């Protein structure tokens, strides 16, 4: 069995319980290992390696890097996206720019760079990369979903809504709850409460465990003084996701409205200790001082 087959078998056993992006093999102590993003040795391969000064040598045969430029670009793209998700923006930039240098034709790299610049609040660069991504892949529903949301959040509701609707209508879109939620957010930004709620509910019909839609319905329920409904949406959110400053704030407000002081205080304490610099932490401190 070849090394790549052994690795594939090990990775298959881990998926979907562990989501890790792997970098190439290295040899130490006579065994092969993969490196994860943090540089820890994992997945020891049951295959001896010859201890030589280069350590990368097999008997009578040199192990060559089998990855093409395109494959290396995809690996760096995957790592860059993962670092984006982790909030490690400097490392994400390094990986995404490497992916771009290796293969500038991949629309997903342009999409990821757009998200990166969006995180930096560099709207000009983000717009350029979103637009180049769409030019390279005009039927890509994921890019349309991201760019549509981006436009809606910047007040370009009609343009954003059109792209989100195209994303929703795509025959290839198997995750329609994302576009539905973003359309709901766009209607919310247009102060159309009825339509926004309708789209959030449709998103939850498509995926009852989608955290952004649950969080949106928590907010709507609280604002409509439907406190038991707000509590129910918060409980559903907590079952599938970690708290955000906003969910803790609405949890505090909801339980206080229901007269449950102890539970309200618990949300307050979590908010202040976990997100001390958030605007919600300031709001809760102001609320309890009144």
Q: In whole angstroms, what is the distance from residue 133 CA to residue 128 CA?
A: 9
Structure tokens at 14: 């881990």
Give CA 203 to chain center in angstroms.
17
Q: In a structure prediction context, what are the per-residue pLDDT tens digits for the chain, which is 290 residues long?
A: 444 444 444 444 333 333 333 344 444 444 434 444 444 433 433 333 333 334 444 444 555 567 899 999 999 999 999 999 999 999 999 999 999 999 999 999 999 999 999 999 999 999 999 999 999 999 999 999 999 999 999 999 999 999 999 999 999 999 999 999 999 999 999 999 999 999 999 999 999 999 999 999 999 999 999 999 999 999 999 999 999 999 999 999 999 999 999 999 999 999 999 999 999 999 998 887 66
pTM score, two decimals? 0.74
Using CA atoms in the order 221, 227, 232, 238, what is the torsion angle rounded to 10 degrees?
80
What CATH number does the domain located at 208-290 have? Answer: 1.25.40.10
Using CA atoms in the order 282, 288, 289, 290, what is the torsion angle rounded to 10 degrees?
120
Q: What is the bridge-based pairing of β-strands 57-58 and 41-48? A: unpaired
- pLDDT value of position 51: 35
Q: Which of 205, 223, 226, 203 is nearest to 213 (CA)?
A: 203
Q: In whole angstroms, what is the distance from residue 81 CA to residue 16 CA?
A: 18
Q: Where in the chain is the domain with CATH 1.25.40.10?
A: 208-290
- pLDDT value of position 288: 74
Beta strand extents in the chain (DSSP E only): 23-28, 31-35, 41-48, 57-58, 61-62
**In degrees rounded to 5, what are phi and psi of residue 26?**
-135, 165
- pLDDT value of position 84: 95
């Amino acid at each position: 069995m070849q090394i790549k087959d052994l690795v594939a078998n090990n990775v298959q056993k881990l998926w979907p319980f562990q989501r890790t992006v792997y970098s190439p093999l290295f040899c130490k102590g006579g065994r092969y290992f993969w490196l994860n993003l943090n540089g820890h040795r994992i997945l020891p391969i049951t295959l001896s390696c010859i201890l030589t000064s280069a350590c990368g040598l097999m008997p009578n045969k040199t192990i060559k890097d089998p990855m093409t430029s395109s494959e290396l670009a995809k690996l760096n793209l995957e790592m860059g996206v993962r670092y984006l998700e982790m909030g490690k923006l400097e490392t994400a930039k390094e990986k995404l720019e490497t992916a771009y240098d290796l293969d500038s034709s991949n629309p997903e790299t342009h999409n990821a760079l757009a998200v990166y610049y969006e995180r930096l609040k560099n709207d000009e660069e983000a717009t350029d990369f979103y637009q180049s991504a769409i030019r390279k892949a005009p039927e890509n529903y994921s890019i349309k979903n991201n760019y549509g949301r981006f436009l809606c959040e910047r007040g370009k509701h009609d343009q954003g809504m059109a792209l989100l609707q195209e994303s929703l209508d795509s025959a290839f879109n198997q995750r329609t709850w994302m576009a539905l939620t973003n359309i709901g957010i766009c209607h919310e930004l247009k102060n159309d409460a009825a339509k926004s709620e309708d789209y959030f509910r449709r998103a939850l019909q498509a995926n009852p465990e989608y955290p952004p839609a649950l969080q949106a319905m928590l907010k709507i329920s609280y604002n409509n003084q439907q406190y038991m409904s707000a509590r129910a949406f918060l409980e559903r959110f907590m079952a599938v996701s970690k708290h955000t400053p906003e969910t803790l704030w609405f949890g505090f407000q909801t339980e206080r409205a229901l007269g449950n002081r102890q539970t309200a205080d618990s949300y307050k304490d979590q908010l202040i200790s976990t997100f001390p610099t958030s605007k919600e932490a300031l709001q809760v401190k102001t609320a309890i001082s009144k």
